[in-house]
Structure 1
């Protein structure tokens, strides 16, 4: 019985090795891309969990410092992926000071996401209702319209989803703000 179980044990131990060769990016290549993004001569400790299973990337991995203690490693395939790798420099300096220029139109930002260079977010609309403001709940079905009194549970701009308390039933309902003090609900 012992002899028959050894080949099975060998097969089970080799399965993780076969898995990396079968369509997954190796953790070592992710680690190497993170180290390369720090620039030449920078000594750092980079940890990538050996159990990481990201789809294999047909293109070269892109990486950029993403704050003082992480590097964003990205696969630009379609669909691609992005992984944040924790990094600690040996000299204790923050990564942002030693980071090489971002590659392929990406730039490091404080926060957790990378955005293309030249990206300008749309300005946010100011909130039209604030928490506690009285609102009118409107529900339309067919040719019928029902209106109820409510109280906003948070701030919202036109088009945003907001939670509202129905003042009659004390039930919390989510709806979309369609105008000043008017929340449309789907029932």
Structure 2
């Protein structure tokens, strides 16, 4: 009789006797918001505790990337936030070494192979076309089977500091070449300072494929 009286009192005051599943934010909705916040190509998987009980959000969930693979999902109206790890599920074709390359060695086409791999958060760092690697120099010993990243290689230095180079200037159909000395190292397309050995003036030019420095 006492229990019945309590239930009637709860109904009379408009208070719920117990929470139901519909009072909680659906876990799949939280996971979907976290995945959508990251640019994952073919998608990804968010790790959310299936037993998580957060108040249902009356507005769209807010998602903010806080780390390479972590998203903060929050609801201002309900006053909660949760940090969700996300793993990319996308795969793409990337470059891999078909054989070992020594430090200081230039990469050739025969050194390369292409494979399909799950790239996760490293996608932007990996090389995907042979043109990105051929002719570049290994910074360190790279083992066969290694995925190639941008920071594994550097451009071949065509000009070295202190080296005598040709300084090239073109004016219409007239071409002038003078002897100069490089004041810094430079790869193809780099801007380098050189000293004109005739005038002792310092000018800046662009390194050409044949090692000359062109001033425009």
Answer whether TM exceeds 0.5 for this pair.
no
Scaled to the shorter chain, the TM-score interval is: 0.3 to 0.5
Which of 1 and 2 has higher RCO (CA within 8 Å, sep 6+)?
1
TM-score where L is the length of structure 1: 0.42
Q: Which protein has the larger Cα radius of gyration, Structure 1 or Structure 2?
A: 2
